[in-house]
Amino acid sequence: AQSVTQLDSHVSVSEGTPVLLRCNYSSSYSPSLFWYVQHPNKGLQLLLKYTSAATLVKGINGFEAEFKKSETSFHLTKPSAHMSDAAEYFCVVSPLTGTYKYIFGTGTRLKVLA
């Protein structure tokens, strides 16, 4: 069975400060892991993905995440927040093979303060 937990429902940071959005997963199989961002009334945009290659994954807009198997974590970070980063972020786990179903986390709403 697979599951994903986003540890914070809301995160507030000041513009220019680092961002950390936490995600822990549980998987019986080698997983794929994804981070998506969703702006209000918009669809999902892929930020980055881990698919059993390099454990440190770099994505778009300066985001990166590190796959830590020993900690079953896949936290999303960015060195310096921008106002445009304010949005909802979803961590997703999926098996590498099989049904391709995505298991979504409950989401973290990022607020960026001026």
In this complex, which beta carbon is closest to other proteins, that of residue 9 or of residue 70? 9
Under the binding rule (CB under 8 A), the answer on residue 100 touching other proteins is yes
Token pair belonging to 37: 């961002």
Longest dimension (CA), the chain: 45
Spatial contact of 80 and 61, defined as CB atoms under 8 Å apart = no
Under the binding rule (CB under 8 A), the answer on residue 48 touching other proteins is no
> Which of 13, 19, 23, 34: binder of other proteins (CB under 8 A)?
34
* Element (DSSP H or E) covering residue 4: strand 3-6
Where do contacts with other proteins occur on this chain (CB under 8 A)?
A: 32, 34, 36, 41-44, 46, 49, 51, 90, 94-102, 104-107, 109
